[in-house]
Amino acid sequence: MTLVQNFPFFSIILSMAAAIVSFVLRGRGSRCVHLAMVTAVLAMSAATLGCTAATGESYTFMMGHYPAPWGNEIRVGPLESAMALCFSLLMLLSVLGGLAHIERDIPPSKVNLFYIQLDLMLSSLLALIYTNDLFTAYVFIEICTIAACGLIMARRIGRVYVSAVRYMVMSLVGSGLFLIGLSLLYAITGHLLMSPAKQALAALVGQKSSAVPLTVIFVLLTVSLGIKSGLYPFHTWIPDAYGYTTPAAAAVLSSLVCKGYILLLVKLMVRVLPAASPAAGRITDVLFVLGVTGMIWGSVDAIRERDVRRMTAYSSVAQIGYIYMGLGLGTQWGMVAAMFHVISHGAMKALLFICTAGLTEVSGGRGDRMALRGAGYRHRIAGIGFAIGSMSMIGIPLLTGFVSKYTFAAAATGAAPRRMVAAWIALAVSTTLNAVYFMRTVLVLYTSVEPSQRRAKDYRPSRIENAATIGLILLNIALGVASPPVLETLSRGLAVFG
């Protein structure tokens, strides 16, 4: 075993160790530890991706001394390492982009706690990406939930406690359903590791027994992860959770947290559920319908919203709908498109949340359309960033959102005719609605205002924030221009994922 093969395990342990060390550090120290840790995880994930993409194979890493089917293990392939690379990059850029706000929004004595939540969040996301064990996944789902709750509460204003309670209630319903689903699965298969569980399930499907329990289990697991990732109609917690917290936390929550659960769901669909089982077809049907509904209703809700932060949050509901629609197509390409959109939406949404923070900052802290008039002149980089993020969301060519939509449309051609038509119509309607609310906001940002309102009073943009915004803009363009190798890696990764 080469050194590189240990890196996924090192990254999980390193992020947990960073969280523990940060308890005894002050704000500045915990910030340095966090940034160093994320950079190290980024480098290690890049090395792992290089290694696995070169061989095109995945490998399992035994945790402890007991081999499968008894011990615990993680499994690493091109898809997992690509996701780890994207997640750590997006976390780094989001935190750098919101650095100045973190210092303003969070009392100095609590700053280290904020970074601890971020460390734990990254560690749980990495564990969800890599783990091959169902119960480990459950434990890290809970760690992720608790860390996300801490991030939602980062700004200590009255409203966030209500958002946090609403998030926790929905999330705990999800966790409870996941746990009972997991217990039932363990009861009928006798395995907690995914690959042996799949073999046991395939044997049961072959004997045509346990069809009802298998369907119930997968409905429970899908619904639980759907609730946690904000699938329509379980999305009610999203706008509150993303709308009131500090920008770095909002960017991390919207671009990463939901995606961890979606990846776990994909893993369950590919690595645990045998393709021959009748449950597989039913689940993709349900995901498709909910995904398509979410694509449209999320956008309709976003149009109704006056506050730009909550509008961006509602747009996440629509984008999560896109991902589930891709999974619901039930084809390999649909899944590749969904995985690409996981990355693509992360890059777009992190950029939008970071820029929104800059724009509201120069508009007296308000996010409504009246206050934002001419904000694009007052904060140029945030204005440009928001415009590019919006264009990417709508699907303008050369930006990552276009590649996503194109891949979804192309993937739909391989699905059943009815689904193909439904997916195309939903894509067209959703794109139009996206254009309505994003372009409306961009027009407001560049409405001509009096020269006195073109300058921000008492505001100096931080250089690090600007650099992070530029980094996110470049990421959006890079994913849009150089998408073929990314799509190639994802599709090869999915081929060895099961």
Helical (H) or strand (E) element with 38: helix 27-55
In this complex, which beta carbon is closest to another protein, that of residue 425 or of residue 443? 443
Burial (Cβ within 10 Å: 0-12, 13-18, ≥19) of residue 290: buried
Q: Tell which one of 444, 473, 486, 490 touches another protein (CB under 8 A).
A: 444
Q: Tell which one of 18, 76, 96, 164 touches another protein (CB under 8 A).
A: 164
165 is a contact residue toward another protein (CB under 8 A):
yes
> How many whole angstroms separate alpha carbon 12 and alpha carbon 480?
30
User: Are 227 and 169 spatial neighbours (Cβ–Cβ below 8 Å)?
Assistant: no
Q: Tell which one of 41, 51, 89, 192 touches another protein (CB under 8 A).
A: 192
69 is a contact residue toward another protein (CB under 8 A):
no
For residue 150, the minimal CB distance to another protein (Å) is 9
312 is a contact residue toward another protein (CB under 8 A):
no
173 is a contact residue toward another protein (CB under 8 A):
yes
474 is a contact residue toward another protein (CB under 8 A):
no
Structure tokens at 404: 């996503």
In this complex, which beta carbon is closest to another protein, that of residue 88 or of residue 175? 175
Measuring CA to CA, which residue among 56, 44, 191 is closest to residue 132? 191
For residue 388, the minimal CB distance to another protein (Å) is 19
Stretch that binds another protein, among 32-40, 173-181, 202-210, 331-339 (CB under 8 A): 173-181
* Three-state DSSP class for residue 352: helix
In this complex, which beta carbon is closest to another protein, that of residue 166 or of residue 282? 166
Could you give phi then psi for residue 62, rounded to 5 degrees? Answer: -80, 125
In this complex, which beta carbon is closest to another protein, that of residue 41 or of residue 177? 177
28 is a contact residue toward another protein (CB under 8 A):
no
1 is a contact residue toward another protein (CB under 8 A):
no
155 is a contact residue toward another protein (CB under 8 A):
no
Tell me the one-letter amino acid at 256.
L
Angle subtended by helix axes 7-22 and 27-55, to nearest 10: 170
Stretch that binds another protein, among 169-177, 242-250, 334-342, 375-383 (CB under 8 A): 169-177
Q: Tell which one of 20, 36, 187, 482 touches another protein (CB under 8 A).
A: 187
For residue 71, the minimal CB distance to another protein (Å) is 12
142 is a contact residue toward another protein (CB under 8 A):
yes
Could you give phi then psi for residue 60, rounded to 5 degrees? Answer: -105, 145
> How many whole angstroms separate alpha carbon 355 and alpha carbon 98?
9
Per the omega criterion (within 30 degrees of 0), is the bond before 69 cis? yes
440 is a contact residue toward another protein (CB under 8 A):
yes
145 is a contact residue toward another protein (CB under 8 A):
yes
User: Are 371 and 383 spatial neighbours (Cβ–Cβ below 8 Å)?
Assistant: no
63 is a contact residue toward another protein (CB under 8 A):
no
In this complex, which beta carbon is closest to another protein, that of residue 71 or of residue 206? 71
In this complex, which beta carbon is closest to another protein, that of residue 86 or of residue 223? 223
User: Are 151 and 113 spatial neighbours (Cβ–Cβ below 8 Å)?
Assistant: no
* Three-state DSSP class for residue 103: helix
Q: How many CB atoms lie within 10 A of CB 451?
A: 8
Helical (H) or strand (E) element with 49: helix 27-55
> How many whole angstroms separate alpha carbon 365 and alpha carbon 378?
13
- Binding residues for another protein, rule: CB under 8 A, are 135, 138-139, 142, 145-146, 149, 153, 158-159, 161-162, 164-165, 168-169, 172-173, 175-177, 179-180, 183, 186-187, 192, 306, 368-370, 373, 440, 443-444, 447
